[in-house]
Chains A and B, each alone.
Chain A
Amino acid sequence: MGHDVNEKLTGDFYTKHFAPALSEDGDTLILNIGPQHPATHGVLRVVVELDGEYIRKSEPVLGYIHRMHEQMGEVKTYPQYLPNMGRVDYLHALAWNWAYVGAVEKLMGITVPPRAEYIRVITCELNRISSHLLWWGAYLLDLGGFTPILYGFADRERILDILQIVTGSRLTYCYFRFGGVVTDVTDEFIALTRQFCRDFTQRLPMYRDLVTGNMILRGRCEDIGVLSPEMARRYGATGPVLRGSGVAYDVRRFEPYSVYDRLAFDIPTGQAGDAMDRYEVRMAEMAQSVRIIEQALEALPAGDVVSPDLPERVIPPKGEIYFAVEGARGKIGVYLLSDGTAKPYRLKLRSPSFSNLSLFAELAQGTLLADAISIMGSLDLVIPEIDR
Chain B
Amino acid sequence: MRRLMKALKGLWSLAVGLRITAVELIKPQITVHYPRKEVDNLATYRGHIELVPQDEDPGTPRCIMCWRCVDICPSRCITLRMHVQGEETGRAADPGLRLSPDVQVPYSQHLAPPPDRIVRVLDGYRLNYSLCSLCGLCVQSCPVDAIRFTGNAYLVGTTRQTFDIDLLARLQQRAASTAAARGAARAA
Contacts and interface: CB of A to CB of B under 8 A. Distances in A.
Interface string A156-168: 0000010011111
A210 interface: yes
Interface stretch (B6-14, B58-66, B104-112, B159-167): B6-14
Contacts, number: 69
Contact of B17 (A87, A161, A209): A209
Nearest to B132: A83
Chief secondary structure at chain A's binding surface: helix
B140 interface: yes
B181 interface: no
Contact of B30 (A79, A154, A206, A209): A154
A215 interface: yes
A210 B134 CA distance: 38
Interface string A319-360: 000000000000000000000000000000000000000000
B21 interface: yes
Nearest to A167: B46
Contacts of B149: 168
Contact of B16 (A81, A147, A213, A218): A213
Contact of A174 (B20, B41, B44, B134): B134
A161 B13 contact: no
Given A169-B46, A209-B17, A213-B13, A81 B74 contact: yes
Contacts of B73: 80
A276 B13 CA distance: 16
Contacts of B21: 147, 210
B100 interface: no
Contact of B134 (A81, A169, A213): A169
A195 to B, nearest CB: 15
B20 A168 contact: no
A360 B9 CA distance: 32
Nearest to B46: A168
B14 A214 contact: yes
Contact of B41 (A84, A151, A164, A213): A164
B180 interface: no
A210 B24 CA distance: 11
Contacts of A210: 16-17, 20-21
Nearest to B76: A80
Q: From A154, A161, A164, A218, name the one whose CB has the most chain B CB atoms within 10 angstroms.
A: A164
Interface residues of A, number: 32
A215 B13 CA distance: 6
Nearest to B21: A147
Contact of A214 (B13, B30, B45, B136): B13
Contact of A215 (B9, B30, B74, B137): B9
Q: From B45, B72, B74, name the one whose CB has the most chain A CB atoms within 10 angstroms.
A: B74
B5 to A, nearest CB: 12
A81 B16 CA distance: 49
A245 interface: no
A286 interface: no
B16 A83 contact: no
Contact of B137 (A82, A209, A211, A214): A82
A87 B46 CA distance: 17
B133 interface: yes
Contacts of A318: none
B135 interface: yes
Contacts of A165: 44
Interface of B: 9-11, 13-14, 16-17, 19-21, 24, 30, 41, 44-46, 72-74, 133-137, 140, 149
Given A83-B137, A182-B136, 7 more contacts: A79-B137, A80-B72, A80-B137, A154-B30, A174-B134, A174-B136, A210-B17
Closest 5 CB pairs of A and B: A168-B46, A215-B10, A83-B135, A80-B74, A174-B135
